[in-house]
Amino acid sequence: NNRFDRRLDELNISVFDLETTGLEPARDHILQIALVRIKNGRLSGEEREWKINPGDHIPISTEILTLTGLNEQELRSAPCLEEVYHEFGTAIGNSIVAGHKVKRFDLRFIRAAERRLAIATNNYFIDTCTISRRLKPRQKNHKLATCARAYGLTFNPDSLHDALTDTRLCAELLLRQITDLQQRGIITFRDLIRFLSFSRRMQGSKVAG
């Protein structure tokens, strides 16, 4: 697969983020998916956002609505996961998918959703949180906001926890990380996998990070 030998700044990457009803994929549900595309080392301007009705029988707590800024009435009238997920899958295609803590959070929800829908995707994943831990091990924490500030990115912290806002910031972070990596001689996708010392398959997906 020649994508391993492609430069990081030449990759087709889909950065995404989820908002959910809680933290447990086995019992909680996706409420929002946002997607931002990176092509040839820059933001392409392509963005997608989907709100999802988790099901009328699924409660959405006031805490989640307050945290995410989502509107329950909009969610209840939104399409179901199955309809949205096919659009999401088409949008990412065979691109590399990236996110912040994507391995520990978003990917687990994606796998749970795919089990419910009897769908399987097979994209490579990049986790910006894992990259941060390797590039900046002395950083006080590796939350998205902290990582973004470490690269001088400006943003409104009050607007975070909206999926599209978080995804845009994560995409900007990844671009800064790619520059940082390449300055350290980590040029290709293969170099990144070696740098992170993590190239095994995880739950059927191929992951960097």
Question: What confidence category does residue 73 fall into, taking pLDDT thresholds of 50, 70 and 90?
Answer: very high
Question: Would you state the pLDDT for residue 168?
Answer: 96
Separation of alpha carbons 20 and 146, rounded Å: 22
Chain segment 95-137, per-residue pLDDT in tens: 999 999 998 999 999 999 999 899 888 899 999 999 999 999 9
What pTM was computed for the model? 0.90
How do the residues of the chain divide into helix, strand and coil, expressed in percent and rounded to 5? Answer: 45, 20, 35
CB within 8 Å of 79: residues ≥ 6 apart: 50, 52, 53
Using the structure block, give the residue that is written with the tokens 């806002």. Answer: 165
Chain segment 40-59, per-residue pLDDT in tens: 999 999 999 999 999 989 99
Using the structure block, give the residue that is written with the tokens 């959070």. Answer: 105
